[in-house]
Amino acid sequence: MGLENRAVYPNIVEDPWFEASIRSRSKSFTASKDLSFLGCIERYQFCTNSEAECSPLTGFYSLSPDPSQNLDLSATQRAVFRLLWKAVESMSLYVTLMILNKDPLLANNYLWGGGGFTSSPLPGNHWQSEVRNIFNASLALLQQRVVEYASPPVVEFRPGISSLKHIVRPTDSEALRLCDQVKILTTDYTSFSFLGVVLTLLAGGIIISTNMSLPTVVSWMQLKRGKGLHQRLEWIETNGLQLQRMACEGRGIGPWSGREDYAPSTVVVGQKFSLTKLSLEHRNRSSSEYELLDQTRGAPYRSFITP
């Protein structure tokens, strides 16, 4: 990989690939060489679950795409080997640099200023970060190629002609089965445990059913055995709807049915009334009566009593 370094640094850069030690008139530093090169060797190796059974650690094209020449694999393993062999071919350094094009270097993140040539100082081992970043990009390409095997991207060459029409489907049953076994993490879907959902719904249903049926069952047992009737009546009359019924009866609203039910109702269906209006009228009438009584007695205080 060749590098033409035209950046300007405030300090000397000792990194062997980005070396900058030439001092300019502006007291900044420029590259020591017009061109500098970084050479890399790529070696690949395929292994089974057992580390003792591996292919030779060598160049990619020294490994045959026929798995039988490298390892003793099952039918499923051979299909995975062929898939990975094609994917590894796309993660080579040459292909990775072609895809990254003009932005493969992390050193671009150190540039600042309007001209784009002024850079912050680089550490002495920055070339290792660059190699590590390119290697990580190649691993991302490897993952992408495996995903594209099961879900090929759609590229429209011209109207009516797309890349899907030129896909050669595998004929091997094991290779076809891999199409349904490739799974990746994505934000488009959410993975959950079906058993956990079922158990949660069952437990919640049992709790809700118990809460709804327990008062009825206990009330039936109390009536059947003739015990706890006082507690049963207290449970019923402290219910909010029953308390409202008793407040209505105190204002002469009624008659009522369902005195021992969860929701009492008036005997006359559709009977309309306003408890607040009756309460205000009763309070005003009672206040006037007791106020008149106090005035006749000549009491110094006036008391307002509402039954």
What does the pLDDT look like over 164-216, one tens digit per residue?
888 888 888 888 888 888 888 778 877 788 999 999 999 999 999 998 888 77
What does the pLDDT look like over 139-152, one tens digit per residue?
998 998 898 888 88
Please check whether residue 162 is in contact with residue 156, taking contact to mean a CB–CB distance below 8 angstroms.
yes
Sign of the torsion angle spanned by Cα atoms 56, 61, 67, 69: negative
What does the pLDDT look like over 217-253, one tens digit per residue?
887 887 777 777 777 777 777 888 888 888 888 777 8
**Strand 20-23 vs strand 29-31: parallel, antiparallel, or unpaired?**
antiparallel
pLDDT over 90, % of the chain: 21
Is a pLDDT exceeding 60 seen at residue 295?
A: no
Q: Coil, strand, or helix at residue 236? A: helix
Residue 290 is predicted with a pLDDT of 47
Query: Which pair of tokens denotes residue 282?
Result: 């009763």
Is a pLDDT exceeding 80 seen at residue 80?
A: yes
Please check whether residue 262 is in contact with residue 239, taking contact to mean a CB–CB distance below 8 angstroms.
yes
Q: What is 168-235 written as a DSSP string?
A: ----SHHHHHHTTT-----SSS----HHHHHHHHHHHHHHHHHHHHHHHHHHHHHHHHT-SHHHHHHH
What does the pLDDT look like over 121-136, one tens digit per residue?
999 999 999 999 999 9
Give backbone dihedrals phi and psi of 146, rounded to 5 degrees, phi first.
-65, -40
Residue 222 is predicted with a pLDDT of 76
Q: For residue 91, with 0-12 CB atoms within 10 Å meaning exposed, 13-18 middle and 19 or more buried, which class applies?
A: buried
Residue 304 is predicted with a pLDDT of 43
The single residue listed with the structure tokens 């009228």 is 281
Residue 24 is predicted with a pLDDT of 86
Please give the Cα distance from 164 to 112 (Å, whole number).
44
pLDDT over 70, % of the chain: 88
